[in-house]
Amino acid sequence: MSEAAVQHGIPNVYEPSLFGTYSKKIGMWLFLLSDSLTFGALLYAYSYGRISTPNWPTPFHSESILNATIMTAFLLTSSLTMVLAVSAAANGKKSALRGWLLATMVCGLGFIILHGREWSNLIAEGLTLPVFPPVPGHEASVEFANVSKTVPQFPATFFGLTGMHMLHVTIGVIYLGIVALRKLFIPILLVLWAAGYYLIPTYSPFHYGVHVLLVSAIVCGIILWLRPKVYDSADVEVAGLYWHFVDLVWMFIFPLVYLMSTKIV
């Protein structure tokens, strides 16, 4: 509709935006507000469980806390590289833009790998959900097996909350990949999907979780086919908003899930 107005050259047909910015940015903010309510509800529920359950387990040893701290540092650094990418895009520096976007993706990927490794270790040690198949050749530790039996809401909320966040980070990395590399990124996604599906053992939840990459490749392919375009600085800024939101949510998950359940020797 607005394109029609522009084509006809009618000036001031539409009122200037109340928010003094372009519509896709407002759209992304609205999405982020709704998504923050989803995470808000999950975090409130987790806090409720944490405070109201007297025998809430504190299973995270210093290795887990160190791992989560490094993950936090990865995300914070990725936010810095993202804001530098937005700055490069605003100043028209294309090569710097691509470099900073790729750096952000590398940090995001580092976060996902560390998180995946931690999930796998916890599952192998016995902190698991009934839907996860047992890990062959691994003896579950008594401590974690007891946690899964006596306080089942702990693994349920832990995997629910961190899994939801991990999904958001994965989608964020894919989003940035599409903005940085456009259709070149789709074959990369497909290769990653195939490699993940065939290399990750079938008892791991990531063997099935890797299908997110296939679905994303199909969706992104359709979007790029329907509306091929060169992404401008506004698109980079909007992608940056999403990425910073993912970082922001982790700022609440990290203390709530990990630091509130630290094993103090």
Partner 1 sequence: MNDSTQYALEERVAEQHRHHGNRRFFYVWGSLLVLTAVEVYLGYQNMEPKKMLTILMGLSIIKAALIIAYFMHMKFEASAMKWLTMCSLVFCLCMMVVFFSGCVPFAQSWSKCSMRMRLFSLALLLVFWGAPAFAQGCAMCYSSAAGSTKEGQKAISRGVLILLTPPIGFMTIGAGLAVRYGKKRDDAYRNTDHEG
Tokens of 48: 């409720």
Instruction: Kindly tell me which of 5 and 194 has the beta carbon lying closer to partner 1.
Output: 5
Residue 175 binding partner 1, by CB under 8 A: no
Instruction: Kindly tell me which of 69 and 121 has the beta carbon lying closer to partner 1.
Output: 69
Q: Which of 74, 119, 158, 258 binds partner 1 (CB under 8 A)?
A: 258
Non-local (6+) Cβ contacts of 138 within 8 A are: 124, 125
Non-local (6+) Cβ contacts of 19 within 8 A are: 26
Q: Kindly write out the interface string for residues 234-253 of this chain, putting x where it contacts partner 1 by CB under 8 A and - elsewhere.
A: x--x--xx--xx-xx--xx-
Instruction: Kindly tell me which of 21 and 150 has the beta carbon lying closer to partner 1.
Output: 21
Q: Are 257 and 59 in contact (CB under 8 A)?
A: no
C-alpha closest to that of 69 among 119, 120, 114, 100: 114
Residue pointed to by tokens 């974690």: 144
Tokens of 213: 């990459």
Q: Kindly write out the interface string for residues 13-42 of this chain, putting x where it contacts partner 1 by CB under 8 A and - elsewhere.
A: -xxxxxxxxxx--x--x---x--xx--xx-
Query: In whole angstroms, what is the distance from residue 258 CA to residue 12 CA?
Result: 53
Q: Which of 79, 104, 162, 216 binds partner 1 (CB under 8 A)?
A: 79
Residues between 179 and 238 that touch partner 1 (CB under 8 A) = 232-234, 237
Nearest-Å Rg of the Cα atoms of the chain is 21
Q: Which of 27, 38, 51, 150 binds partner 1 (CB under 8 A)?
A: 51
Q: Which of 64, 69, 121, 153 binds partner 1 (CB under 8 A)?
A: 69
Instruction: Kindly tell me which of 16 and 130 has the beta carbon lying closer to partner 1.
Output: 16
Non-local (6+) Cβ contacts of 132 within 8 A are: 123, 203, 205
How many other C-beta atoms lie within 10 A of the C-beta of residue 263? 13
Stretch near partner 1 under the rule CB under 8 A, chosen from 11-19, 117-125, 160-168, 184-192? 11-19
Q: Which of 67, 72, 162, 204 binds partner 1 (CB under 8 A)?
A: 72
Query: In whole angstroms, what is the distance from residue 216 CA to residue 236 CA?
Result: 19
Residue 103 binding partner 1, by CB under 8 A: no
How many other C-beta atoms lie within 10 A of the C-beta of residue 155? 22
Find the distance separating the first CA and the last CA of the chain, reported in whole Å.
Answer: 64
Contacting positions for partner 1 (CB under 8 A)? 2, 5-6, 11, 14-23, 26, 29, 33, 36-37, 40-41, 44-45, 47-52, 56, 65, 69, 72-73, 76-77, 79-80, 82-84, 86-87, 90-92, 232-234, 237, 240-241, 244-245, 247-248, 251-252, 254-256, 258-260, 262, 264
